[in-house]
Amino acid sequence: TSSERHPGERHLYSMPIDGGPRTQITSSTGSNVAEVSPDDTTIAVVHSYSNRPPELFLGANRPGSEPKQVTTTPTEEWRSFRWADPEVLTFKARDGVDVYARLYTPEMVGARPDPLRPGVVFVHGAGYAQNAHKYWASYFREYMFHNLLASRGYVVLDVDYRASSGYGRDWRTAIFRHMGGKDLDDIVDGARYLVEHHKVDPKRIGVYGGSYGGFITLMAMFTSPGTFAAGAALRPVTDWAHYNHGYTANILNEPQIDADAYRRSSPIYFAEGLNGALLICHGLVDTNVHVQDSIRLVQRLIELRKENWELAVYPVENHGFEQETSWADEYKRILRLFDTNLRSKAARTVS
C-alpha cells in the first residue's frame, strides 16, 4: 500500500516484479489495507474512513472493481449519531511549510457555534504518529471527544506537527536536539490559524494531548504566553533526562553529552511561565512515562507558588488506561477544564 495519492490515504497498488509503473487497485477514499488471494484474483480489504470504523470488503484484484462489504461492526445506536467528517487541510507554519491538520466544527455535527467561538488544539502522542488523515483514527476516543466538543460549540484542530509520520525524512528529523521547538511552533501556529480563518476567540483556546502530546501541552502552557487559556497534559514527559534512553538518545543525544538539548526540551525548566489553567493526569503504575515526571513538576509548581493547576492520579492505570471509569473520569475533567475557562457564560447556561 502507498500514500501516493494523498498523505492521508492508503491504497493498494500493483507493479511488475522487476519494476515499472504502478497501478492503483483500490479507489475508496481512506485507508485500504489489503491481502491478495493465493490465485491473485481476489483482494480482502480492511477499509475505513474518517467517520467510519474499519470493515472487511471482498472484491476483484483489478482497477475499478467495487469490493462488497461483508462486515458491519458498529451498533445501530452508534451509527445513528451524526459523526463529523473532519476536513483534512493544510495551514502555513511560520517558516512557510504546509502543516496537515484535521478540522472539526459545530456545523459538522449539526450544532450551533458558541457565539464566542472557543477553540481547542489536539496534540497526538508518540511524536512520530500520524493523525491528520482520512481514515479511522487510532485515537478513536479523541475523535469521539472532538465530536462532543464540536456539539458544544468548539472548533477543534488536530495537528500533524513537525516529526509526525507520513511526510518524509526532513519532517521527521525537524526536532533533532530540540523537542518543543518546531513541533511546538506548529501547534501555536495552528491556534493562530483558528483565529485567522475560523473566527476563534484568541483568548478562548485550549490545548491537550497525552504522552508526547502532554509534553507539548506543557511546553505550550509554559513557553507560549497568551496563546492558550487552558491545557490538559495527560501522562506527560516533564524531563527527558528521565525517559527511555532508546527513544530519547536518537533525538537529543545523551544527557551527559548534550545537556543543553535536554534542558531546552524539558518542560520542568520552564514551569515559571505557567499563566493559564493547567490539568495534569497520570496513572500511578505508568511503565512508559513514570509518574515521577508529573510529581516532580507538581513540586516545582508548588515551589513557584503557582495556584492555577490541578493533578488527577489514577491508582490502577498504566500509560494506556484500561478501565472505562478512568477514561470517563479523565475526559470529564478535560471537558470541565475547557468549559470553565473557554466557553461563554451564555453557552454554559443553555447546554
Summarised one tens digit per residue, pLDDT across range 39-54 is: 999 999 999 999 999 9
Structural domains in the chain, sorted by start? 13-73 (no CATH), 81-350 (3.40.50.1820)
Q: Which distant-in-sequence residues (6+ apart) come within 8 Å of 92 by Cβ?
A: 98, 99, 189, 193
Placement of cell 493498494 in the chain: 12
**pLDDT for 128:** 86
**pLDDT for 349:** 47
CA-closest candidate to residue 26, choices 39, 43, 41, 38? 43
**pLDDT for 346:** 53
CA-closest candidate to residue 280, choices 225, 326, 196, 215? 215
Burial bucket for residue 245 (CB in 10 Å: 0-12, 13-18, 19+)? exposed
CA-closest candidate to residue 338, choices 66, 65, 156? 156
Model confidence, pTM: 0.94
**pLDDT for 233:** 99
**pLDDT for 344:** 64
Q: What distance in Å separates the CA atoms of residue 45 and residue 215, rounded to the nearest whole number? A: 36
Summarised one tens digit per residue, pLDDT across range 76-120 is: 999 999 999 999 999 999 999 999 999 999 999 999 999 989 999
**pLDDT for 329:** 98
Q: Where are the alpha helices (DSSP H) in the chain?
A: 76-79, 140-151, 169-172, 182-198, 212-223, 245-252, 259-264, 292-303, 324-342, 345-350
CB 144 within 8 A of CB 150: no
Q: Where are the alpha helices (DSSP H) in 107-164?
A: 140-151
Q: What distance in Å separates the CA atoms of residue 258 and residue 303, rounded to the nearest whole number? A: 27
Q: Which distant-in-sequence residues (6+ apart) come within 8 Å of 259 by Cβ?
A: none
Q: Which residues of the chain have pLDDT under 50?
A: 347, 349-351
**pLDDT for 8:** 95
